[in-house]
Amino acid sequence: MPRKTEKSGKGDIPYSTVVRLAQYLRILERLHAVGTTKISSNELAKEAKVNSFLVRKDLSYFGEFGVRGVGYDLKSLIREIRRILGLNRDRRIVLVGVGHLGRALLSYKGFAEEGFVTCGLFDSDPAKIGSSVGDLQVRSIFSLEDFVQGNGPIDIGIIAVPAFSAQFVANKLVAVGVKGLLNFAPIPLTVPTHVISISVDLTTNLEVISYYLLHR
């Protein structure tokens, strides 16, 4: 992951299969919007830049979704992948760290479209606390527990704070029962095994590119 990326997961199904499933979904939704109604593993593979064996293997971990000799029905394949990824329900998200990156993430439309509902914003900067971003107020990170008491449990926490406070924020989120973390701070987080944490490190990605500029 890419990384860029940290991983964790259940042993049976490869982590990379899960990542590709999400990518297939993006592609299928784009094609659906354009009016396509069926697709073969070959066509999907071409779009995703992988080979068709891998598309079929990835899907076969979860069931038989295609028709032999025909291909896959686009609409039902989308439904199946969304079910596999747990996107057939809303996921409640909070964002911690309302800086430039945090605001950029908030304005990103893709999130809401897939059922990710941002329901809380948190920061530690007194200058930001109390201000509004979109239709949400920024709250103190120390009011996180109260927030969960009053507003119900949170599924996923997005961490967009500086490296030095990322682990502190992660601990707070885990303490209030958050089970998934998406971390943009350039530091590997320590979390209990029942919590899934994925890190996206922008500098790491640039450095990987730098490596391949040199060695090739």
Partner DNA sequence: ACGTGTGAAAGATTTCACAGCG
Partner DNA sequence: CGCTGTGAAATCTTTCACACGT
Nearer to DNA, 21 or 181 (CB): 21
Measured between alpha carbons, how far is 149 from 153 in angstroms, rounded to an integer? 8
CB contact at 8 A, 123 and 147:
no
Of 68-76, 97-105, 123-131, 138-146, the window that binds its own copies (rule: CB under 8 A) is 97-105
- Binding pattern to DNA, positions 7-46, x when CB under 7 A? ----x--xxxx----------------------xxx----
Stretch that binds DNA, among 64-72, 147-155, 163-171, 199-207 (CB under 7 A): 64-72
Residue 18 contacts its own copies per CB under 8 A: yes
Binding marks (x or -) toward its own copies, 45..84, rule CB under 8 A? Answer: --xxx----------------------------------x
64 binds DNA (CB under 7 A): yes
For 57, half-sphere exposure in the C-beta direction (CA atoms, 13 angstrom radius) is 10
The b-or-e profile of 131-151 (16+ CB within 10 A means b, else e) is: eebeeeebbbbeebeebbeee
Tell me the three-class secondary structure of 15-26, residue by residue. Answer: HHHHHHHHHHHH
Q: Which does 198 bind (CB under 5 to 8 A by kind): its own copies, DNA, none?
A: its own copies
Q: Which of 65, 91, 119, 165 binds its own copies (CB under 8 A)?
A: 91
CB of 152 to its own copies, least distance (A): 15
Q: Which among 63-71, 105-113, 124-132, 142-150 is the span making contact with its own copies, rule CB under 8 A?
A: 105-113
User: Contact between 76 and DNA (CB under 7 A)?
Assistant: no
Please, what is the angle between helix 15-33 and helix 52-60, to 10°?
110
Q: What is the dihedral of CA 71, 25, 84, 94, to 10 degrees?
A: -170
- Residue placing its CB nearer to DNA in the complex, 23 or 165: 23
What residues does 133 pair with on adjacent strands? 136
Rounded-to-integer distance, Cα 51 and Cα 44, Å: 9
φ/ψ of residue 198, rounded to 5: -120, 130
Q: Which residues bind DNA (CB under 7 A)?
A: 11, 14-17, 40-42, 50-54, 56-57, 59-60, 64-72
